[in-house]
Amino acid sequence: MKMAVLAGAAVVAVAAAAMVAALLSSPDALRDVAVLEIGGGEGRVELVPVDAGAAGPESLAFDPAGGGPYAGVSDGRVLRWVPGERRWEEHSASCAPELLLEIGDAELLPLDGAAGPESLVFAGGYGDGGEGGPRSRACRTAGCLGAGGAALGRALLLRAQTSSFSRETLLVPNQPESSAYGSRLTVVCRPPPSKLDSCRGSQDPGREHECGRPLGLKFNPDTGELYVADAYHGLRMVAPGPGGGKASRPVAPEWWQGARAFSFANGVEVDPGTGAVYFTETSTRFQRREFLRIVVSGDTTGRLLRYDPRGGGGVEVLADGLAFPNGLAMSSDGTHLLLAETTTGRILRYWLRPTAPKAPALLEEVARLPWFPDNIRMSPRGGFWVGLHARRGKLAQYCISYPWLRRLVLALPPRHVQRASSLLSRLGRQVIALRLSEEDGRVVEMASVHGDLRRVFRSVSEVAERNGSIWIGSVMSPFLGVYKLQ
């Protein structure tokens, strides 16, 4: 019986491996296309490790002043690269810090022979900066308590001065029977280390719902606000300002449209003209940690959404029925959005101004690729870059068409399927990104790696071209890649 179980498990493993291999590798290759061969000669390739042991700088953004890049990582933080100091700094986090009161510098204040300062009141209002100190009642509703029969029913006035906003002097009442003293305590407000520290450095997909998983990032160039598409916590925003360690706040939170939670917020883009924020919800059935199940199940519950901060903050569904909608980018003329549909390998165009002469429909196909496309970024040399997670094959359609094959893979733990896909995707030459023509979707350049760099650049999610360098993000790698162009 045991041997039969092991044999059955082996059959399942082999079948799953074969399916994933067909999904993630294909013999087809683009021909007659310029190739950008990314190599490590002459110090042109640099790997920037992610801070604190986290991984997966999936999406990149540069602030309006050119600072950055900023990257969301596996432990819920958004990090900012400081090139002059060669280090990362914490910019924000998806899990909001909680208030912690740290008590120190205690001073006991005698109560003139009475006891039990059960309630406090400030003569001039709390924290008004005046000399009206707290009045402590020595009587409770049920009766008076005193020390040695003294000061029954008296209200005592303590004159004290308040200090700064962040360090204030409070009177904390004792239990009535405890002693004949009140306590003046120095209280310091600071974020607690517990939750942020426990998340910092995490690569555990099982904690993403707790720590957050920031994916798409985009700055509003006019306001400096950073919009973050968090896979579990919805669309969030970080207000501009100095310092790091800020918490992003929800603007289209996980509980929008009644009680239905966001399952998988992903890409984000900001219209610089109107301030409208566009973002994708990859699936309403599966979460980010189940992303392979979205592909093999043929799920088409993905949506393109719009949040309008100037129009009351509502969320509008622009398109639904999408198969793994992923990265977004605004066209150079602002007339349409480019959208990657990962399962089908399609690049779609959503017309924001349907009256434009070239707009036959709101949503149209621009290109169909033999890879799984991820994020989209405009190139300063024209066109747009598409990061490629892996190659597609004919079995991608087979697993959608044949229920038995789909059930086989869906029965496996996601971590096993992910590991198999990672191992099998290392065969052959690896194309990590394509640059496409904005006009007609034609491939004009192909970025590829080979040899030892295949083990370095895998599961590429984004390629961003800026100031003569190619920045390479990955949803799995513990570093950010930088390649200097000639």
Q: Which of 329, 266, 244 is nearest to 68 (CA)?
A: 244
- Structure confidence by residue, pLDDT tens digits, 211-221: 999 999 999 99
Residues 354 and 441 in one domain: yes
Residues 142 and 280 in one domain: no
* 424 has a pLDDT exceeding 70: no
205 phi/psi in degrees, rounded to 5: -60, -25
- Structure confidence by residue, pLDDT tens digits, 225-279: 999 999 999 999 999 987 666 778 888 755 555 446 678 999 999 999 999 999 9
More confident residue, 250 or 445: 445
| Peptide bond connecting 69 to the previous residue in cis, omega within 30 degrees of 0 | yes
Lowest mean pLDDT among 87-101, 148-162, 298-312: 148-162
Average pLDDT for residues 383-395, to the nearest whole number? Answer: 84
Mean pLDDT, all residues of the chain: 77
* 122 has a pLDDT exceeding 70: no
More confident residue, 106 or 237: 237
Report the alpha-carbon distance of residue 122 to residue 360 in Å, rounded.
69
Lowest mean pLDDT among 195-204, 246-255, 468-477: 246-255
What's the total number of domains in the chain?
Answer: 2
Residues 332 and 208 in one domain: yes
Residue 202: C-alpha distances to residues 24, 115, 178, 294 (Å):
27, 50, 45, 24
Query: For position 127, what pLDDT does the model report?
Result: 39
DSSP 228: E
Residues 306 and 170 in one domain: no
Provide the b/e sequence for 12-50 (b: ≥16 CB within 10 Å). Answer: eeeebbebbbbbbbbeeeeeeeeebebeeeeeebeebeb
Residues 93 and 104 in one domain: no
Cβ proximity of 341 and 325 under 8 Å: yes
Query: For position 262, what pLDDT does the model report?
Result: 77
Does any domain span residue 354? yes
* 360 has a pLDDT exceeding 50: yes
Residue in this structure with the two tokens 């991608």, named with its chain if needed: 396
Query: For position 241, what pLDDT does the model report?
Result: 82
Report the alpha-carbon distance of residue 464 to residue 452 in Å, rounded.
22
Query: For position 139, what pLDDT does the model report?
Result: 36
Does any domain span residue 174? yes
Q: Say what percent of the chain tops pLDDT 90.
A: 49
What sign for the dihedral angle of Cα 422, 427, 432, 433? Answer: negative
Does any domain span residue 21? no
- The helix or strand, by DSSP H or E, that contains position 350, with its residue range, turns out to be strand 346-351
* 23 has a pLDDT exceeding 80: no
Average pLDDT for residues 466-472, to the nearest whole number? Answer: 96
Query: For position 110, what pLDDT does the model report?
Result: 64
Residues 260 and 132 in one domain: no
Average pLDDT for residues 120-139, to the nearest whole number? Answer: 44
Cβ proximity of 59 and 462 under 8 Å: yes
Q: Which of 482, 472, 261, 258 is nearest to 377 (CA)?
A: 472
Instruction: Supply the range of the domain harboring residue 123.
Output: 100-190
> What pLDDT band is residue 131 in, cutting at 50, 70 and 90?
very low
Query: For position 9, what pLDDT does the model report?
Result: 53
Q: Which of 338, 324, 318 is nearest to 441 (CA)?
A: 338
SS3 for 19-65 is HHHHHHCCCCCCCCCEEEECCCHHHCEEEEECHHHCCCCCCEECCCC
Last residue of a domain, one of 160, 190, 220: 190
* 183 has a pLDDT exceeding 80: no
Residues 120 and 161 in one domain: yes
Average pLDDT for residues 94-99, to the nearest whole number? Answer: 58
Does any domain span residue 125? yes
- Please, which residues have CB within 8 angstroms of residue 338's CB and are 6 or more apart in sequence? 328, 329, 330, 331, 347, 348, 349, 366, 376, 384, 438
Q: Which two tokens stand for residue 390?
A: 């892996």
Query: For position 128, what pLDDT does the model report?
Result: 41
Last residue of a domain, one of 135, 165, 190: 190
Does any domain span residue 470? yes
- The helix or strand, by DSSP H or E, that contains position 419, with its residue range, turns out to be helix 414-424
Residues 255 and 297 in one domain: yes
Cβ proximity of 323 and 368 under 8 Å: no
Q: Say what percent of the chain tops pLDDT 70.
A: 62
Average pLDDT for residues 175-182, to the nearest whole number? Answer: 41
Report the alpha-carbon distance of residue 278 to residue 197 in Å, rounded.
32
Residues 380 and 245 in one domain: yes
